[in-house]
Chains A and B, each alone.
Chain A
């Protein structure tokens, strides 16, 4: 049986912290450039240019793309034939804390949600999944909270007309308005339970945006068009680019329900992946 040491895991997570926070995902950069080319509104164009300049400057200067270096969400896929020597969760949180400290990122995490206290670097949110094989895959998503705050869940009736679901999703984006750093990437989870729909919506943000084919691509395109007619635009000051993409993930659900979760990401959608 293949073995892996906890220390290797911490090191890999540390490196993901650096990559995710300093270099914007290629698909997001591509979408921003495309939005810039398509934009007619002068101010919106200028803001989109600033976003591209910001990404380039962050990379060049080893600066975080955004000061909100997020609540780190880590998705782990463990091959069932892999043996982990040591404490997996501890190793991940150590990697997060050391990485955030080393790269001078922000300590945005309070231990107690009610009493708050002095912000720390960790822990992150860890989702563990077991898969075939003997490898382990880590994806780190530093989730900014300006946009996380605008996320919503609605439990629809199973007999609902899909028009109502579409209207809800568009309404969530409209409600985010200028506040959560548009142009957004809209992650949507449909099905499962209340909590699982939320996880699907978050996972939807990991899928590369634009030019992908998914079972939902027709609905994704339709929603993107509707959202981009809201004229919210970059910084909420008008323009075509209210969202860069809509990604939908679905799962089986119960005969009595239809959970729909919308997870909003700002334009600084950051994530990085490593397989050990």
Chain B
């Protein structure tokens, strides 16, 4: 994982094509299964959202706990497909993109295209290595979910591969 020092602003994502490898510096929010269920429940019940969705990048990740003296534990991606049922609604509400591992459903691909979102994958099963790129961690919501709570991560040169671009191009091929 060589560093390229490409710092991306959110507006830059639109120009990225599936297959492109980038290094992202900025803010990510962790959210996985139960956090997605809650966010979607909040939207459906018109409740205030625990996470400000417009412009946000969600990282499907539940890190290990943090050892003393470290910023974060192992923090690799979890299987994105489990979030497929929730993703189109979050994109409709302004979510900018997602980071995870593996392929997405047809509905997610269509929603990415429609709302000009983006889906990245990162080094799967490299949780220890990826912890190097995390510079700070703050709990945002759902503390009771333990490893599934929403964290705000500031990352530097976090390695990403565009898996589904804003035009619907997909690294895994079209279904």
Which A residues contact B (CB, under 8 angstroms)?
Answer: 47, 50-51, 53-55, 57-58, 61-69, 103-108, 116, 118-119, 146, 149, 177-181, 235-237, 266-268
Contact = CB atoms under 8 A, between A and B. Distances in A.
A146 B64 contact: no
Interface in B62-120: 62-67, 70, 73-76, 78-81, 101-103
Greatest chain B CB density within 10 A among A69, A146, A180, A267 is at: A146
A268 B125 contact: yes
A63 B127 contact: yes
B80 to A, nearest CB: 8
A61 B75 CA distance: 14
Given A66-B127, A179-B81, A104 B73 contact: yes
A57 B121 CA distance: 21
Nearest to A178: B102
A235 B101 contact: yes
A149 B82 CA distance: 10
A58 B126 CA distance: 9
A266 B124 CA distance: 10
A105 B64 contact: yes
B101 A63 contact: no
25 contacts: A53-B1, A54-B123, A55-B128, A62-B67, A63-B67, A63-B74, A63-B128, A64-B74, A66-B128, A67-B75, A67-B76, A69-B74, A106-B65, A107-B65, A107-B146, A118-B145, A118-B146, A119-B147, A119-B148, A177-B172, A178-B102, A179-B102, A266-B125, A267-B125, A268-B125
Contacts, number: 131
Contacts of A236: 102-103, 172
B104 to A, nearest CB: 10
Contact of B123 (A50, A58, A62): A50
Contacts of A178: 101-103, 121, 172
B74 A67 contact: yes
B161 interface: yes
A149 B101 CA distance: 14
Given A54-B125, A67-B64, A235-B123, 18 more contacts: A54-B126, A57-B132, A58-B129, A61-B70, A63-B64, A63-B127, A63-B128, A66-B126, A67-B75, A68-B127, A104-B67, A106-B62, A106-B65, A108-B147, A118-B144, A119-B148, A146-B101, A266-B125
B40 interface: no
Nearest to A68: B78
Contacts of A149: 79
A50 B81 CA distance: 23
Interface of B: 1, 34, 61-67, 70, 73-76, 78-81, 101-103, 121, 123-129, 131-132, 144-148, 161, 171-172
A105 to B, nearest CB: 5
A235 B124 contact: yes
A264 B1 CA distance: 27
Nearest to B100: A179
Contacts of B79: 146, 149, 179-180
A55 B127 CA distance: 10
Contact of A180 (B102, B126, B145, B147): B102
Contacts of B73: 63-64, 67, 104-106
Contacts of B123: 47, 50, 54, 235
Given A116-B34, A178-B101, A66 B81 contact: no
Contacts of B148: 119
A62 B64 CA distance: 12
B139 to A, nearest CB: 14
A55 to B, nearest CB: 8
Contacts of B128: 54-55, 57-58, 61, 63-66
A147 to B, nearest CB: 9
A220 B80 CA distance: 30
Nearest to A53: B129
Nearest to A63: B128
A235 B61 contact: no
